[in-house]
């Protein structure tokens, strides 16, 4: 029987994917494509996908919405956990209502953030374009 | 118009003609710039009159007075990362091929740094070009043209891109005349003929009938 900590982590994954999950696909530095949930075998989904955030302009105090793409996953869903300094490619839905996957890479300037208490990981993404 | 305004307009014109799709020129300080506007060859060069000094002189009431001008030149570039996405996304690619494509990923900060160095070179060569010693104005208008330094800032992640800014000062000397402020052209005074209905001669007065 799992204890409450394990149950909490599993519930955080299940409930967040049910309410907020969007499709995603990861390509690790080993060249392996991770597009299925390591626990359930279902298509891999984020527990939270953010596209924008609000920032305050210091000079005027106005709110400004800036594009900043952040993907949160349950660590339970991932066969391999992204580490700081690794090169990962990630494809996420273009928008909550558009399932077309668009390309990003893991931002090398912001390391993946923890959240181990509920087995979550937050990834900061950077736009990528085709190299010449 | 004072010379510093003519020089500013001329600098914008010189930079505009030299753009060739490599950057965009802005002639005033913008309050906010969206980083997406400055991606790749849309990188921005902003030039504006920043400061001026007028050393005291006994040149009389109407000049000419020496004007030591400082223009601020601000540069902005923004870049995403690049990678061989086609190989990474190709289902037929082997893990080794995807691994190699990811290992060759070029991060955005590195690209932004290279792009800024290139832009600094372009702007410096344009503004310090011997053919622009008079900044496109009649010979003798401008003297002591010089760019003493460039200052590059730290790259900053802005949303999905990385932004890098740099700045320089362009100093010049010119002579300004003091012609006084011409004011604002006022409304015309319209001299209308007095129109009195029923009076064919358009005069006023008292008619004395001596009948």
Which domains are seen in chain B, by residue range?
3-79+113-176 (3.30.2000.10)
> C-alpha angle A105/A108/A112, rounded to 5°?
85
pLDDT value at residue B188: 61
Our CA-based measurement puts residue B99 at a distance from the nearest CA of chain A, in whole angstroms, of 4
The encoded tokens of residue B79 equal 């870049």
Give chain B positions within 8 Å (CB) of A104.
160
HSE at residue B156, side-chain half, CA atoms within 13 A, is 8
CB contacts under 8 A, A 86-115 vs B, are 87-89, 91, 103-105, 107-110
Contacts of residue B199, Cβ cutoff 8 Å, sequence gap at least 6: none
Domain ranges of chain A: 4-127
Spans of chain A, pLDDT less than 50? none
How many other β-carbons are positioned within 10 Å of the β-carbon of residue B79?
A: 29
A128 to B99: CB separation less than 8 angstroms, yes or no = no
User: CA B41, CA B78: separation in Å to the nearest integer?
Assistant: 9
A127 to B160: CB separation less than 8 angstroms, yes or no = yes
- Is B107 at the interface with chain A, CB within 8 A? yes
Which residue of A lies nearest to B109 if distances are taken between CA atoms?
A: A109
Instruction: Give the max Cα distance, chain B.
Output: 126
Please write the tens of the pLDDT for every residue from B38-92: 888 889 999 999 999 998 887 667 778 999 999 999 999 999 999 999 999 999 9
Going by C-alpha positions, the residue among B69, B74, B86, B96 that lies closest to residue B150 is: B74
pLDDT value at residue A46: 95
pLDDT value at residue B199: 65
ipTM: 0.78
pLDDT value at residue B160: 81
CB contacts under 8 A, A 49-78 vs B, are 57, 64, 66-69
Q: Buried (b) or exposed (e) across B130-145, using 16+ Cβ within 10 A?
A: eebeebbbeeebbeeb
Give chain A positions within 8 Å (CB) of B93.
31
pLDDT value at residue B16: 94
The answer to whether the beta carbons of residues A13 and A119 sit under 8 Å apart is: yes
* Nearest-by-Cβ selection for A27 from B96, B102, B158: B102
Average pLDDT, consecutive stretches of 10 residues, N- to C-terminus, chain B (211 residues): 93 94 88 77 92 84 87 93 92 92 90 95 95 90 93 87 92 90 71 63 59 54
Going by C-alpha positions, the residue among B6, B17, B80 that lies closest to residue B45 is: B17
* Nearest-by-Cβ selection for B80 from A89, A110, A129: A129
Q: Which of B36, B85, B103, B115 should we substitute to test contact with A (largest number of A Cβ atoms within 10 Å)?
A: B85
Give chain B positions within 8 Å (CB) of A91.
89
Our CA-based measurement puts residue B94 at a distance from the nearest CA of chain A, in whole angstroms, of 8
pLDDT value at residue B158: 80
DSSP A83: -
């Amino acid at each position: 029987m799992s204890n409450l900590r394990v149950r909490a982590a599993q519930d955080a994954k299940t409930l967040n994917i049910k309410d907020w999950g969007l499709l995603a696909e990861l390509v690790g530095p080993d060249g392996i494509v991770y597009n299925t949930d390591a626990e359930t075998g279902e298509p891999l989904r984020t527990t939270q996908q953010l596209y924008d955030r609000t920032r305050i302009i210091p000079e005027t105090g106005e709110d400004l919405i800036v594009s900043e793409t952040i993907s949160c996953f349950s660590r339970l869903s991932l066969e391999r956990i992204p580490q700081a300094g690794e090169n990962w490619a990630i494809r996420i839905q273009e928008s909550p209502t558009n399932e077309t996957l668009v390309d990003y890479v893991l931002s090398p300037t912001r390391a993946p953030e923890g959240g181990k208490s509920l087995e979550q990981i937050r990834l900061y993404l950077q736009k990528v374009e085709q190299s010449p | 118009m004072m010379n510093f305004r003519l020089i500013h307009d001329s600098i914008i014109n010189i930079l505009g003609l030299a753009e060739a799709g490599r950057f965009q020129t802005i002639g005033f300080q913008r309050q906010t710039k969206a980083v997406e506007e400055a991606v790749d060859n849309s990188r921005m060069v902003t030039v504006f009159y920043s400061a001026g000094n007028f050393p005291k002189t006994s040149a009389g009431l109407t000049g000419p007075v020496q004007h030591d001008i400082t223009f601020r030149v601000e540069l902005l570039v923004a870049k995403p990362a690049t990678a061989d996405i086609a190989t990474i996304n190709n289902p037929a690619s082997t893990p080794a091929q995807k691994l190699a494509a990811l290992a060759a990923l070029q991060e955005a900060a590195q690209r932004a740094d290279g792009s800024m160095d290139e832009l600094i070179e372009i702007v410096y060569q344009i503004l310090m070009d011997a053919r622009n010693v008079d900044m496109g104005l009649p010979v003798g208008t401008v003297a002591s043209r010089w760019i003493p330094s460039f200052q590059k800032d730290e790259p900053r992640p802005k949303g999905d891109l990385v932004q890098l800014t740099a700045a320089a000062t362009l100093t010049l000397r010119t002579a300004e005349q003091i012609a006084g402020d011409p004011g604002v052209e006022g409304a015309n005074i319209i001299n209308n003929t007095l129109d009195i209905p029923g009076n064919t001669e358009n005069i006023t007065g008292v008619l004395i009938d001596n009948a």
